[in-house]
Structure 1
Amino acid sequence: MPLELRKVTQDSEFNDIIQCECEGYATPLNRLWRLFRYDPSPAGFIELRDRQIREFRSDPTACWLKVVDTDIGDKVVGAALWNTYLENPYPVFKDHPMEAEWWPEGESRDFANHLLDQFICDRHKKMARPHMFLVYLFVHPEHRRRGIGRQLINWGVQEADRLHLESFIEATDLGKHTYEACGFVYAGTNYLESAKRNASPQWKEMEAVIQYVGPGFRFCVV
């Protein structure tokens, strides 16, 4: 079954891409990704799709790629988002670099912000220079071990080589082997801590929902 790598240009392409994203990150469940989608209902799917379209359209550094299987109606079997930063994207440190506005206001959002702050906070130390950054990469669970992930990774690495840039990836341990097999080198671990003194029942409920207890790995090309 032929696989074809394509750049994403139309908003209409995102419905299939986000469907693949949801299925890819759900099997096995990527707990960190769960922070970026609070509502598993159809309404939550629409919110996630529309948010990622808005982010793509407002970010000139962003390039979405998809891999389709041309033998089964151009089905999206994998996709990735690469950012190309020709200048330092973190010139100023921000105590609170991202607001998890897709979570309801209150303890739920506070919890998501708490983990996101930890996840993002040291980028200004590790990546404060021009580079390429792999934001998302997912492959449909029924189409793994076909080289789809490698295709999506190699595109960014080759582009980085062309531009004489480093490449960075942040990933959970689920992707560690794949990225190392593609030449990335482990460059540190960022552990996220959800514990809070006198935590409310809602905070503890969020801990149960996310169940994020593993490390987030950071990789870089050397």
Structure 2
Amino acid sequence: MAAKYVVREMKSKGEMDAIMDVIWAANYDPYDTYAQLFFPVLGYTASAREAAIAESKDRFWENHNSTPTSNWFYVEDTTNGRVVGCAQWEIHTQNPFKAGAPTLRAPWWPEGEYRDFCEEIIRQVYTPRTHWMRRPHLALNWMAVLPAYRGKDIGSLLMSIGTSRADALGVECWMEASGMGKKLYEKHGFRSLFKMQFDMERKDASDVWRKCMHELTPTPVYPMWRPKHGIWELEGDSIQFPWERGAA
């Protein structure tokens, strides 16, 4: 009997558009502040939302094609051909931070304090990765499942694609997880290193910055790590991480 849910690798713009529809739906049910950070709707009308969706589809397709490490996968419901879940795994076969931490920009926002605010959030999220993942690894950047398909192991299919490739390469895995996804990731060998809360206080903050703090500050995230082959080694009573041992 054919499997009801099949994982496929994204190859076309049409597939990317369907993936983005999943991400938009997933991030609004329940609503996640990251939706507005990465996909700002610059207005209050249906046409403003449609323009934001179209912009995000073009942006993510362009970003994928200009990023050699980008690999998008999606789950198809074979009974109706619908894309019901998606994930982006970056595959790094060497240190991606040889030149240091990248400068992260958010050009999808107009210039000004909203863009500055978004860029500071991204910088804080990304900093632990740039410090600790200076070895070959896989990184999970995006994961989304349509609300109606949650609880059907769609997420596990997408996780297995990444962890199986990591194991074949003999490398570690990394992600920055939401609280909602944390339990799923733990089932696949990840553990959280700490809880990251965002510090967006600014001396003499403007009204715009304070509005951003109120409306756009995300809930805490959890940097999570999975060792090679998901095998956690203990030295004494504690876990010893590669960066603590000075491993290359």
- Tell me which interval the TM-score lies in, with the shorter structure as reference length: over 0.9
How far apart in 1 are the matches of 2:53 and 2:215?
17
Which one-letter code corresponds to 1:218 in the other structure?
A: P
Match of 1:90 among 90, 97, 100: 97
Q: How many residues align?
A: 219
Match of 2:62 among 49, 54, 57: 54
Question: Map of 1:175-194 to 2, 5 A cutoff?
Answer: 175-194=181-200
Q: Is residue 82 of structure 2 the alignment partner of residue 75 of structure 1? A: yes
Q: Helix, strand or coil for the counterpart of 1:102?
A: coil
Mapped contact 1:32–1:172 kept (Cα < 8 A): no
Match of 1:219 among 221, 224, 227: 224
Mapped contact 2:22–2:85 kept (Cα < 8 A): yes
Q: Helix, strand or coil for the counterpart of 1:104?
A: coil
How far apart in 2 are the matches of 1:172 and 1:195?
22
What is the Cα-based RMSD across aligned positions, in Å? 1.5
How far apart in 2 are the matches of 1:211 and 1:134?
22
1:110-152 superposed Cα distances (whole Å, 9 cap, x missing partner): 1111211111123221111100011101000010000000000
How far apart in 2 are the matches of 1:44 and 1:93?
32
Question: Map of 1:1-222 to 2, 5 A cutoff?
Answer: 2-39=4-41, 41-72=49-80, 74-94=81-101, 97-212=103-218, 214-222=219-227
Gaps in structure 1 of 5+ consecutive residues: none
Structure 1 residue 33: Cα displacement: 4.2
Determine the structure 1 residue equivalent to 2:239.
none
TM-score w.r.t. the length of structure 1 is 0.93
How far apart in 1 are the matches of 2:30 and 2:156?
19
How far apart in 2 are the matches of 1:32 and 1:18?
14
How far apart in 1 are the matches of 2:54 and 2:22?
14
How far apart in 2 are the matches of 1:182 and 1:162?
15
Which one-letter code corresponds to 1:180 in the other structure?
A: E
How far apart in 1 are the matches of 2:126 and 2:35?
14
